[in-house]
Amino acid sequence: NLQNGSSKKRLDVVVVGGGLVGSLEALYLAKRGHRVRLYEFREDIRKTPEVRGRSINLALSIRGRTALRDVGLEKHIVESYGIPMYGRRIHRLDGSTYNIPYDANTKQGIYSVGRTYLNSLLLQESESYDNVERFFHHKLIEANLHKGSLTFLKTNTNETVSVTADLIIGADGAYSSVRKAMLKEPLFDFSQKYIEHGYLELCIPADENGGFQMPPNFLHIWPRGEFMMIALPNQDCSWTVTLFMPFIKFKNLDTEEKLLDFFEAYFPDSISLIGRKKLLEDFFGGKPSPLVAIKCRPYNVDNKVLLIGDAAHAVVPFYGQGMNAGFEDCWLLDKLMQKHNDDLSKVLPEFSDTRWEDTFAISDLALYNYVEMRDLVTRPTYLIRKALDDLLSWALPTVWVPLYNSVTFSTMPYSQCVKNRQWQDKILKRAFMILGLSILAGGGYSYKNNNVTSDMILLPIRNIFKKLF
Ligand code: FAD
């Protein structure tokens, strides 16, 4: 696909899926001068009112921002559109709240952005490139990956269209048809995991003056151990509220009375914010959606096909990294295109070889973060560890980067974020060991001279150890 010398061939690229990641990738490829045809199953999102069943807003963090920067959209999204959230605001059972800043030292935040707005903006931006064509109502139904040929069904006319391309980008989401075709490829590994919890979106409307009913610069959480509710602010001063809970619990809330009793018991302060009538309407008007984590590799077939975004690595949403990781794919792919002068025979295998470890890592981290958000944030041991991390990162900002910060506020590869945390755990474990031994020595002295039992000394130390690491 490459020519000699510095000039490179203009590639004919088909991007399957015009969601967040496919639309961004189209821009990156257009910027490199390639011909891009973008095929999307649904109607043009710029003409579609909000559809239920896909998260309405999302948290954008540094990886996504970095990718948007390269296509000239970061500034607008961050400075004029997104709503910054500087920490978690925890709602206790009695309705009182407290804040846990994401980064107590640098006061960095993540940004709440609307899915429809961002997707529309990306598609709109592609209109400024003559080398991008968009085809909506086109559903991929058949693929010959080695030949680079694809067949689409035009869902509004029932006709089929076949196209060929030098490069096929599969950005068609968690239930990807491109990936389905790859399942037949030898040595293609694939696994999917549904968690037993689903999610349902509710809404806190703006107040009567059109303002926010809660402080807007936080991600609000109602952590309740086995389940939780969260809320992200919208640009119209409403809130998208998401209830995450085991499916069985959703199923048991089958009458209005049971639902209201449940909210009275677990989220009492939210009832007046949502409004009783709206709560009943929204809850019974929707149904809980499943959450799936997908791992697969390699992401490419020869120098013809590449999976990116959720098609390659759907993750559960608890680290707010699905879109960010997908955007980072586009950024990394562009770096490789630059490095190899768009030689797909080098770019695609290198992307596959270098990316999977990081996407597997964020997938596991996202599962862990559900436990942190719904349960651990309420525990003193979590708060002690957070305070320790904040203190150490304040004292040693370049050396001690806490896990959440490395994932959310840095572009450190995800797998490195995990290794970093393991290294930090080891150091803290040793420090606590030394502290524990010193206390033990002191305790032993008291034990000998006063009326102190060994359990009074050993049990608290053992418990702190167990919970902190
Ligand atoms: P999608 O957004 O799924 O887009 C795929 C596109 O492909 C769709 O438009 C679809 O219509 C199209 N398509 C599918 N099949 C075909 C076909 N056969 N032919 C043609 N087109 C097809 N991420 C974050 O970073 N931050 C968050 O805060 C966050 N919150 C989330 C909350 C929830 C509840 C959920 C479920 C996810 C959240 N995510 C978040 C994850 C984020 O939504 C996804 O990672 C992101 O949408 C992936 O983008 P994508 O373009 O790869 O896939």
Helix (H, G, I), strand (E, B) or coil at 131: coil
Residue 304 placed within a domain: yes
Which atom of ligand 1 sits closest to the CA of residue 61?
A: 25
- State if pTM tops 0.90: yes
**Do 177 and 218 fall within a single domain?**
no
Atom of ligand 1 nearest to the CA of 45: 9
Q: Are residues 131 and 19 in the same domain?
A: yes
Same domain, 163 and 302: yes
Token pair listed for 430: 């040793």
Testing ligand 1's pocket by substitution, the residue of 200, 323, 362, 407 carrying the most ligand atoms inside 8 A of its CB is 323
Same domain, 158 and 257: no
Sheet holding 167-170, edge to edge: 132-135, 35-39, 12-16, 167-170, 305-307, 300-301
Question: Do residues 326 and 354 share a domain?
Answer: yes
The pLDDT score that the predictor gives to residue 106 is 85
Same domain, 33 and 160: yes
User: In this structure, is residue 201 part of a structural domain?
Assistant: yes
Same domain, 182 and 79: yes
Take atom 1 of ligand 1 and give the residue whose Cα is closest.
173
Q: Is residue 99 in some structural domain?
A: no
Q: How many domains is the chain built from?
A: 3
Do residues 115 and 156 both lie within one domain? yes
- Do strands 189-204 and 289-297 pair parallel, antiparallel, or not at all (unpaired)? antiparallel
- Whose CA is closest to 203, among 164, 174, 229? 229
Cα of 15 vs centre of ligand 1, distance in Å, is 14
Residue 167 sits in the same domain as residue 242: no
Q: Tens place of pLDDT for every residue, the chain, 469 residues?
A: 444 444 678 999 999 999 999 999 999 999 999 999 999 999 999 998 666 556 689 999 999 999 999 999 999 999 999 999 999 999 999 999 999 999 888 889 999 999 999 999 999 999 999 999 999 999 999 999 999 999 999 999 999 999 999 999 999 999 999 999 999 999 999 999 999 999 999 999 999 999 999 999 999 999 999 999 999 999 999 999 999 999 999 999 999 999 999 999 999 999 999 999 999 999 999 999 999 999 999 999 999 999 999 999 999 999 999 999 999 999 999 999 999 999 999 999 999 999 999 999 999 999 988 888 888 888 888 889 889 999 999 999 989 999 999 999 999 999 999 999 999 999 988 888 888 888 878 777 776 777 666 666 566 656 655 655 5
Among the atoms of ligand 1, which is closest to the Cα of residue 310? 52
Is residue 101 situated within a structural domain? Answer: no
Pairing of β 219-223 and β 87-91 = parallel
- Assess if residue 96 is contained within a domain: no
Rounded Cα–Cα distance for residues 359 and 425 (Å):
22
The domain spanning residue 73 has which CATH number? 3.50.50.60
Domain final residue, candidates 353, 372, 391: 372
Report whether residue 116 contacts ligand 1, using a CB cutoff of 6 Å: no
- CA 132 – ligand 1 centroid, Å: 21
- 39 CB near ligand 1 (under 6 Å): yes
Whether 87 is in the pocket of ligand 1, judged by its Cβ within 6 Å, is: no
Given a contact cutoff of 8 angstroms between Cβ atoms, the answer to whether 293 and 314 are in contact is yes
288 Cβ inside 6 Å of ligand 1? no
Q: State which of 228, 257, 290 marks the end of a domain.
A: 290
Confidence at residue 5, expressed as pLDDT on a 0 to 100 scale: 45
Rounded Cα–Cα distance for residues 69 and 59 (Å):
16
Torsion of CA 260, 54, 358, 342, to 10 degrees: -170
Query: Does 336 lie in the same domain as 211?
Result: no
Which ipTM score applies to this complex? 0.99
**Domain of 37, in residue numbers:** 12-85+107-190+293-372
Q: How many CA atoms are closer than 13 Å to the CA of 139, on its beta-carbon side?
A: 11
Residue 435, in any domain of the structure: yes
Instruction: Evaluate whether residue 364 is within a structural domain.
Output: yes
Considering 225, 257, 290, which residue would you say is the last residue of a domain? 290
- Please, are residues 264 and 244 in contact by the beta-carbon 8 Å criterion? no
323 Cα–ligand 1 center, Å: 7
Rg of the chain in Å (alpha carbons) = 25
- What is the number of the ligand 1 atom nearest to the C-alpha of 291? 36
Res 433: pLDDT: 84
Contact criterion met (CB below 8 Å) for 412 and 365: no
133 and 22, same structural domain?
Answer: yes
- Tell me, what's the pLDDT at 447? 67
Which residue shows structure tokens 């061939």?
9
Instruction: Say whether both 304 and 424 belong to one domain.
Output: no
Q: Which two tokens stand for residue 24?
A: 């961004």
The reported pLDDT for the residue numbered 441 is 81
Is the CB of residue 139 below 6 angstroms from any atom belonging to ligand 1? yes
- Any domain includes 177: yes
